[in-house]
Structure 1
Amino acid sequence: MKFSYLFCTAAALAYGHPAFAASADGAQTGAAEEVASADESVKPARRPAFNTGVARARDALDTAVSTSTVVETEINKVAPRSLAELFRLIPGIRSEAYAGDGNNAYTVRGLPLVSDGAKYIQLQENGLPVLEFGDVQSFGPDNLMRVDLNLAGVQAIRGGSASTFASNAPGGIINLIEKTGEVEGGSVQLSSGLDYEMYRLDVDYGARISDTLRFHVGGYFRSGEGPRSTGYNSYRGGQVKFNMTKEFAAGGHLRIYAKMLNDRFPQYYPSPLVVNGTNENPSFKSVANMNVKNDSSYSQYLSSFVSFDSNNNLKRFNIHDGNRVKSNSLGFETKFGVDGWTFTDKFRYSDTAGDINGASQILYLPASALAATFGGPGATVSYAQGENAGEVIANPSALNGNGLLALTVPSDLVLNDFSNAINDFRGSKVWEIGGGRLTLTGGWYHSWQALKYDWLLTSVVQDVVGGGDSRLVDITAANGFPVTQGGILAYGSLTPGYQRSYDVEYSVNAPYGSFNFHKGRLAVGGSIRYDMGKVRGTTSADGSSDAYFVDINGDGVPSSYAETVVRHFPTSSGDPVDYKYDYLSYSLSANFRVAETFSLFARYSRGARASAERILFSPAINAADGSLAEKSAAYNPVRQLEGGFKYRTGSVSLNLTGFLANVDETNTQLVNDASGTYFELVSRSYRAYGAELEGSWRRGGFSVNAGATLTHAEITADKNHPDFVGNTPRHQAKFIYQLVPQYDSGKFVVGASVVGTTGSYAQDVNKLRLPAYTTVGAFVQYRLAENIVWSMNASNLFDVLAITDVLEGSIPATGVVSARTLYGRTISSSLRFNF
């Protein structure tokens, strides 16, 4: 990776060009000030020094690091609906923004995306991860992060020093930086969806208390149904952030900060899509009366369900609560100097709990076929809810115009304890040696992460219709015996092993160090990190013998099939988890400044990512003593070679990076094939190579920022599926691109954000292809008065069907697949008062 990362990017460099994802490599000193003065309709951009995944900030043309920064003013213009939408505009990042505010999928430069979450990218706030592991099943780190007025900017580093300046981040780091009161004043912003229901209030304020003491406070509250129809108020909540900074007379500072997040939002699961044609050339469309771009599996009628918790007590949960996350964080950071050394320390403790409630549709069949599957020949279907509850559906093939029923799994992921404590301490010093400058840095990272949660499930049958109007459906056997009970098919999963309880703690210790020698035009560097992990705890899951009759309705007899499939946890103490792991990460780099405006660089790095929770309940863990049955499963090494050039003038920047990455991965993947829907342990290797281009141009009020990534990726080894060798990993497109043109007159701003991808394969089997798509967003801002700004923003302006995920690997006999897409067109407006 490269130690030149140290030099990552000076603050002014990081915020150079006004385009949405400004390259830190291409930014110019003073450019951000030019932007701020050109557009007084918004408050000046905060410009914190680039300090993500690096040791020290330096001129980008003297480093071998690929970095980008998104400034506050540009975030306000594009107005992303979620973090995932914002990250789509960072070059090299593949962001699958399908799930809403949380549990989206992220990767970088062709690194594999076997599951959801962010396995190889670490998501941070103020330089520390919000979760130590970014791909916990059904709880990604984006559940804990929000875009609001507290945000000064987003910093991203791809490859490079991420492997050695962070644990579990070999692919890169995306870091949210909050305001700290350097720019005095505040804002109040009122926002509303115009073609969807969402109302939001944002407030922030920062000021100096004295010459050496300043603070910032801000937050938001929102409420509404959201961009997809659910039939109820599915968004409600917000967050408050506060920080105070004491500056030292001799330089440095001490900062304390706090966050209180209490938010509720829906997680969007797959919806049905009709597919025609062939696997290689398919055509997709929504089923009748359910628009996959704007509808969801949620409904006003589907709310309260029951299951059994880890103590085998009946527990009622409400999927209308959605992803209900409560997280309180308290931390500090300090920077001070001693005898030429600069020391920094960052610490944060987060107390996180809540419930992740959802409803995942895992199977779509014609109504008569689904009834026969579970109720036998001659089974009938009837509504279990609504004004016609109990009424037999006489013509199932005409039901809702599509004739479909869905097997749905309402779930409650009970977050008993997701707390963590993280500390990162480092020291750095520069020596003048041999006519050059030698910089040495050393540090120690420690984290503790609790993953204690129960995964509770129920199985139901619902009809397929949008608008938040779907209802539960009952199945009755030909002999009159009820199969379902109020639409419930089983009080748990139909398949054993998925009602789970986790009580596991992870600790990570990682000493690290780096050097950089810069003389004249040449800079060479290296860094090293040694991660040591310890995992302790227990796990438990229902087995094939843990489903039996429970008299749910209290009539003393099995009154439905559902009452005979009630999943319980075993009464034993659970299976132990008890293992350690360690791995070495390192990086070597060189950078040559050919001219004032041009430099060449090269870097080789080796990093890794711990497998963590994804290998539990798999053959990788010895069920008898909790040790590793396969030591190679403990972590996933990533080896990367990078090289390229950087060019920068006053109005143009251009960065080209070639990359080669090799990955060995152990993971758990959700598979949906002829055998059903199940989790499979994946053990395979990948290779990805390609080129990443990033550039910006500015003339007067016009500016353009662009990014493109060309990737060739393939599976090079697979323990369980040797026939996959040579295939392209699922969802991996050959080409992804971003383009943000805009015009800023000072009085008004108008622009667009264009993001596109070529086609890819739905699954690793490489049969069903997902089509290419391009989405266009548009934004306009107008200054009504000196301190009042009105803005309008459209996402997916042309209402494109952008398919990001299909569970099936090939077209099924029914011609209906489970798919996730980006939102359809949504338009919002806001009014902001600056003071």
Structure 2
Amino acid sequence: MTTHKFNRSLVCIAVSASLTISVSAFAQENEETKNQEKEGIEQIVVTGSVAGRSQIESAISVTSIDDEVIRNFKPNSEVEMFRLLPGIQANGNNGPGGNANIAVRGLPVATGGSPFVQIQEDGLPTVLFGDMQFGNNDYWTKFDASVARLESVRGGTATTFASQAPGAIINYISHTGEVEGGFINLTTGLGYDEKRVDFRYGGEASDSVLYHVGGYVKNGRGPLDPGFVTSDSTQVKGNLTKYLDDDESYIRFNFKAADTQEPFYTGSLALADINGNKISNLRPYPTMDGRTDSNLSALNQTFLIVNRDGAVERVGMSGISTQALAIGSEVHYVLEDDIIIDNKMRWTDMSGSFNEPFHGPTLTSNVLGSTVNGAVVGSIQYANGQQQGQDYDLPYIDTNTNVSTQMNDVGSLVNDLTISKEFDLDGNALAVRGGYFYMNQKIAMTWHTNRNFRAAGVNRPAQLDLFDVDGNQLTANGLAGFNDNWGACCSRDYDLDYTNTAPYIALDFETDDFILDGSVRRDTVDASGFAIQSSGEAFVTIVDDVEIPTLLPDGNQENLDYSVSYTSWTFGGLYKFNEDTSFFTRASKGNRFNADRQTVSGKINPDGSLTEAGQVAAVDEVNQYEIGVKNRGELLGGTYTAELTLLKGDFTQSNFEPTSTPACPNGGCVLDNEYRTTGFEFYGTYSFDSLYVIANATYTDAEQRAAGASEWQVANDIPEMTYAINASYDLLESWSVGLNMSGQYGSRNGAGVETENKPIFGGNVTYYLNERLQFSIIGQNLTDEFTVRGLNGIVDEPNGVITASPVLGRNLQASVRLNF
């Protein structure tokens, strides 16, 4: 299969066209934004909802975050933005490229990605599976100026109104041009190289036609500056809406073009006090401060791979790159007798690459005297940089892999058709909705995992070469092996095809005092395609006169030919205590399908069917129970909204982990665990005069036990508590200021080691020169706190050395914005 090469010029043309649209009116965007923010739980729900009710009248846990709040929060990645949403829990400071583990409501991520969370754009998934290996769903969706708000449903109807989303739906909802106007915003990093242009514009093309276009262009080295450009991204999204004669029905056409390249931060050394399974007093490593220093390096900005044809090829250390072209439509048609037909469709051509140096430091003394490529290591020298040829004498060395994965095809075709009608039953309302979902998801990838040696504990590390006791060179510019870092499992080539079909039906009954609703979904997933891993028989590739062991995906071809069906359901109710208070309760059973993680793990029979173990592991079943209260009112002269949900859930997961993680140190593990969790979600807003505050918190007591074990243990890789607070205040008529805080505690890695966490503070100041022009400074980690969002492991316990992913240090951006 040929990797799709997206034509960047198409994106640039679209950007230029959007910026030359004639400006016909000025939109009071600041006032519009404030009105949207203050709607709070009165916001009309469009995600996972039968009747499109307001949040306070929806018997589900749902949250809507306005675009201006997100921009002032200044997230450096999608997962940082998700900290604004209750129920979403994520370790890691992964950077703008993505690759985060996104959990929800205490449902841990056993292997990687976001298996229980679906990311959508305008109601359709960007990818069907959130935990595709080297293809997590946070790669493919980027917040930009085209997004009006972020809406999230946790549990409940996420299980029945979407496939592969038993935990949550996170929906990026676009502007559609209802209010004419827009802006262009120019941003630059203060003290570091990063430039970004955000833009959007929309309005009426005629009395019945609306349009909107928006996006961004970004370029630079980023706050960690590895010595070369790591961010080089462009994205444009647009839509055109035609209203029909009844002024209710419409047809909308959508497009998206994206060509992104962003870094994935893999971590650094740090110092800490280690007391058993607890880590505290975190502080920077003396010669590498993870707040400002990078494991990426100009000395390692390209590397060699052996491709599937056996040829040596040089690739760039480009982080996570994506190319996407998506074309879609949305039809909303009101027939006679108020029967409503809705159909959403999107075709996406999508591909990308994952080229990163994983961070895996160990003691240098562990390498000296060890056997590498059949010889005993006698010495280590710098392979490049200013110290090239000199002996390496630092105490730690990075022995982890250079990964190059070509995501040759992650394209899809998705369609969601629904028919709904509301009936009047003696003054009460019965809404009936039936639907049929179809999505074909392709997953075609080629993996290259090279054994590699580089310096550890320094900024922009150099490559290292190993020599035997006789002085013979064992590596070539740090390269010790092609495609063999995790063994024969992980030299892979596969081209998989999954088709998910799902009829579903929902009933919603409403009286003056209460709402009852229930829905059921029947998913069927058909799997086909093939996967090949290495036979384990290595051959030699000569690089710089050094013999490098090489594996290729030349083993037996595993063919997929099976089908799995399963049923999800939810039932809930809401009691309207009064117009300001409602109570709701809900029970749900949701499911998600294990896709590419089932391959080459011994779970596929020679005829393509699932083995008995494969049938057990094919689907993860999630049970959730929740009870909540929603309230709004007056407090201390202002108004507030609040939502509190108590949670309980359980699920069983069986999955294959090919890579090296704390839970699977050498890769190639089958992880069979049961999980259970209790906790709560909170979301609230407060408005007083020119002050506006939003806050959320999620607490979970999550436990796990291995299959067949009797004792439960604290679940790993998920914080006990996550929280975020965002406040803004208008000073006079020309100034506004904001302050935000986010954090977590009770975070353990896959080995069960708990790490101390501290809150991070951010802020923003905006000056409005006039109604069109404004200047802003936005900052993150204003106190320059050294803390981590994820622990990779302990490197040297006696000396308190760990490897972790620190939060970026203090970083500021300045921007100027012109409103049209």
What TM-score comes out, normalization by structure 1 length?
A: 0.89
SS for the counterpart of 2:71 is helix
Deviation at 1:823, TM superposition (A): 1.9
CA separation of 1:215/1:735 partners in 2, compared to 1, >3 Å: closer, same or farther? same
User: Is structure 2 residue 713 aligned with structure 1 residue 727?
Assistant: yes
Task: Describe how 1:804-823 pairs up with structure 2 within 5 A.
Answer: 804-808=789-793, 815-823=800-808
- Tell me if structure 2 keeps the 8 A contact 1:538–1:577: yes
Match of 1:524 among 510, 516, 536: 516
Identify the residue that residue 828 of structure 1 maps to in structure 2: 813
Deviation at 1:525, TM superposition (A): 1.1
Match of 1:347 among 345, 348, 371: 345
SS for the counterpart of 1:260 is strand
User: Is structure 2 residue 690 aligned with structure 1 residue 692?
Assistant: no
Deviation at 1:822, TM superposition (A): 2.5
User: Is structure 2 residue 727 aligned with structure 1 residue 744?
Assistant: no
Identify the residue that residue 130 of structure 1 maps to in structure 2: 126
Identify the residue that residue 616 of structure 1 maps to in structure 2: 599
- Tell me if structure 2 keeps the 8 A contact 1:365–1:814: no
Mind listing any 5+ residue stretches in structure 1 that lack a counterpart? Answer: 1-31, 554-558
- Tell me if structure 2 keeps the 8 A contact 1:672–1:808: no
User: Is structure 2 residue 236 aligned with structure 1 residue 240?
Assistant: yes
Identify the residue that residue 279 of structure 1 maps to in structure 2: 276
Identify the residue that residue 301 of structure 1 maps to in structure 2: 299
CA separation of 1:138/1:295 partners in 2, compared to 1, >3 Å: closer, same or farther? farther
Identify the residue that residue 567 of structure 1 maps to in structure 2: 551
Identify the residue that residue 12 of structure 2 maps to in structure 1: none
Instruction: Tell me the distance in 1 between the aligned counterparts of 2:746 and 2:418.
Output: 44
- Tell me if structure 2 keeps the 8 A contact 1:235–1:264: yes
Identify the residue that residue 788 of structure 2 maps to in structure 1: 803
- Tell me if structure 1 keeps the 8 A contact 2:662–2:749: no
Q: Deviations over 1:443-466 (max 9, x none)?
A: 000000000000112222111254
User: Is structure 2 residue 776 aligned with structure 1 residue 778?
Assistant: no
CA separation of 1:76/1:304 partners in 2, compared to 1, >3 Å: closer, same or farther? closer
Deviation at 1:377, TM superposition (A): 6.0
Deviation at 1:254, TM superposition (A): 0.5
Moved more, 670-679 or 251-260: 670-679
Identify the residue that residue 703 of structure 1 maps to in structure 2: 692
Match of 2:223 among 204, 220, 227: 227
Match of 1:548 among 535, 539, 561: 539
- Tell me if structure 1 keeps the 8 A contact 2:342–2:417: yes
SS for the counterpart of 1:361 is coil
Letter in 2 for 1:336: Y
Instruction: Tell me the distance in 2 between the aligned counterparts of 1:66 and 1:653.
Output: 14
CA separation of 1:139/1:37 partners in 2, compared to 1, >3 Å: closer, same or farther? closer
- Tell me if structure 1 keeps the 8 A contact 2:157–2:570: yes
SS for the counterpart of 1:531 is strand
Task: Describe how 1:374-773 pairs up with structure 2 within 5 A.
Answer: 374=371, 379-393=378-392, 396=393, 399=394, 403-468=395-460, 470-494=461-485, 495-545=487-537, 547-553=538-544, 559-560=545-546, 563-570=547-554, 572=556, 574-622=557-605, 625-630=608-613, 631-649=615-633, 651-669=639-657, 670-672=659-661, 676-715=665-704, 717-719=705-707, 722=709, 725-745=711-731, 746-763=733-750, 765-766=751-752, 768-773=753-758
Identify the residue that residue 775 of structure 2 maps to in structure 1: 790
Identify the residue that residue 11 of structure 2 maps to in structure 1: none
- Tell me if structure 1 keeps the 8 A contact 2:623–2:649: yes
Match of 1:51 among 46, 50, 61: 46
CA separation of 1:406/1:389 partners in 2, compared to 1, >3 Å: closer, same or farther? same
Moved more, 684-693 or 531-540: 684-693
SS for the counterpart of 1:86 is helix
**Percent of aligned pairs with the same residue?**
27
Task: Describe how 1:80-159 pairs up with structure 2 within 5 A.
Answer: 80-101=75-96, 102-159=98-155
CA separation of 1:423/1:640 partners in 2, compared to 1, >3 Å: closer, same or farther? same
Instruction: Tell me the distance in 1 between the aligned counterparts of 2:233 and 2:724.
Output: 32
Instruction: Tell me the distance in 2 between the aligned counterparts of 1:564 and 1:35.
Output: 60
Instruction: Tell me the distance in 2 between the aligned counterparts of 1:295 and 1:74.
Output: 29
- Tell me if structure 1 keeps the 8 A contact 2:361–2:456: no
Letter in 1 for 2:476: Q
Deviation at 1:295, TM superposition (A): 2.1
SS for the counterpart of 1:808 is strand
- Tell me if structure 1 keeps the 8 A contact 2:253–2:330: yes
Letter in 2 for 1:424: D
Deviation at 1:623, TM superposition (A): 5.3
Letter in 2 for 1:260: A
Instruction: Tell me the distance in 1 between the aligned counterparts of 2:29 and 2:194.
Output: 35
Q: Deviations over 1:211-257 (max 9, x none)?
A: 00121112211111012231111111211112111011212211111
Instruction: Tell me the distance in 2 between the aligned counterparts of 1:628 and 1:750.
Output: 60
SS for the counterpart of 2:108 is coil
- Tell me if structure 2 keeps the 8 A contact 1:229–1:295: yes
Instruction: Tell me the distance in 1 between the aligned counterparts of 2:664 and 2:154.
Output: 38
Instruction: Tell me the distance in 1 between the aligned counterparts of 2:67 and 2:488.
Output: 48
Letter in 2 for 1:305: F
Deviation at 1:78, TM superposition (A): 2.1
Q: Deviations over 1:682-701 (max 9, x none)?
A: 11111111122222221111
Letter in 2 for 1:253: Y
Q: Deviations over 1:717-769 (max 9, x none)?
A: 4128x37x411111333322222222124422212111121222222x53x21
Instruction: Tell me the distance in 1 between the aligned counterparts of 2:151 and 2:331.
Output: 20
- Tell me if structure 2 keeps the 8 A contact 1:272–1:364: no
Identify the residue that residue 331 of structure 1 maps to in structure 2: 328
Instruction: Tell me the distance in 1 between the aligned counterparts of 2:139 and 2:664.
Output: 32
Instruction: Tell me the distance in 2 between the aligned counterparts of 1:48 and 1:732.
Output: 30
Q: Deviations over 1:344-382 (max 9, x none)?
A: 10000110112211111224222x432322466671121
SS for the counterpart of 1:627 is coil
Instruction: Tell me the distance in 1 between the aligned counterparts of 2:56 and 2:663.
Output: 53
Deviation at 1:530, TM superposition (A): 0.3
- Tell me if structure 2 keeps the 8 A contact 1:183–1:206: yes
Deviation at 1:813, TM superposition (A): 6.5
Mind listing any 5+ residue stretches in structure 2 that lack a counterpart? Answer: 1-26
Q: Deviations over 1:159-214 (max 9, x none)?
A: 12110000011111111111111111121110011132211112221121100012
Deviation at 1:97, TM superposition (A): 4.6
Identify the residue that residue 65 of structure 1 maps to in structure 2: 60
SS for the counterpart of 2:399 is strand
What TM-score comes out, normalization by structure 2 length?
A: 0.90
Letter in 1 for 2:284: S
Instruction: Tell me the distance in 1 between the aligned counterparts of 2:126 and 2:172.
Output: 10
- Tell me if structure 2 keeps the 8 A contact 1:62–1:591: yes
Q: CA RMSD of the aligned region, Å?
A: 2.5
Moved more, 85-94 or 649-658: 649-658
CA separation of 1:673/1:530 partners in 2, compared to 1, >3 Å: closer, same or farther? closer
Deviation at 1:674, TM superposition (A): 11
Identify the residue that residue 77 of structure 1 maps to in structure 2: 72
Letter in 1 for 2:759: T
Instruction: Tell me the distance in 1 between the aligned counterparts of 2:307 and 2:437.
Output: 36
Deviation at 1:405, TM superposition (A): 1.5
Instruction: Tell me the distance in 2 between the aligned counterparts of 1:804 and 1:668.
Output: 25
Deviation at 1:83, TM superposition (A): 1.6
